[in-house]
Amino acid sequence: MKEKQKILNILSIVIIIWQVIIGIIKVGICSILLLCCIITCSSTEIANSIAEHINNNILYSGQLHNAHFGNQAINEIISNYISGTISGNDVRTIAGVVGVLVAIVVIEILIIKIYFIVSGFFGLRCSKNPEKGRPAFVLGCIGVVVAFLQAFLTYLGNIFTLAVVAFATSTTDGQIVTISPKVMNILLFPIVFIVYTILIGVIRQKYKENTEAFKNIAD
């Protein structure tokens, strides 16, 4: 029992530190990207410069040529890209859309990281006082679902990011860029959190059994 509580204590601390560090890194990267989007949207000169660079380094894509989206503005931007007539307004539109998406991602990161940090603190309390382990176990069970959902969204985000990088760095000579996000790295935290939640459940169950045993002896 004591050994399991020590392990839970260590896991709780690891989860808290892990989420704080990853949260700071992710929010920092997103903040830089968001700042770039804001600067691009607010500066006509920068937007025009980016548009000129795109038009001078245009890469024809058959997939883009045949692509059609439900949004007319997106179709117009794609058409301008293909014809090499991307304008500063197009760049600002793209920057605005990306900025909104990044802001949403930042909010999502903050909510999820705070949730796991709070869960870690409840785990710490459970490791010292198993009697108060129910909130930690409930948060842990919900957190397992959240962790796998986050892993799935991270996987999709990595594929999108790598696809954008692959397209931006591709050439007309048919160069192929392999897109292969590391799944095991993405699943590492959900697996650790499952172990953490199971350990809380085991400690709670053992505590109940010990409590019942003491009551029977007293009777």
Structural domain boundaries of the chain? 2-213
- Site of tokens 């459970």: 126
Compute the Cα dihedral for 140, 198, 152, 165 and give only its sign. positive
Minimal CA–CA distance to 11: which of 202, 219, 213?
202
- pLDDT for res 181: 56
Q: What does the pLDDT read at residue 150? A: 87
How much is the pLDDT for 90? 80
Q: Are 30 and 106 in contact (CB under 8 A)?
A: yes
The pTM of the whole model exceeds 0.85: no
What number of CA atoms fall less than 13 Å from residue 110's CA on the CB side?
10
pLDDT by residue, tens only, the chain of 219 residues: 778 888 889 999 999 999 999 999 989 988 998 998 899 888 888 888 887 776 776 554 444 444 444 555 555 655 555 555 678 888 888 888 888 988 998 998 999 999 999 999 999 998 888 888 889 999 999 999 999 998 888 888 777 776 666 555 544 444 444 555 566 778 888 999 999 999 999 888 888 887 777 666 765
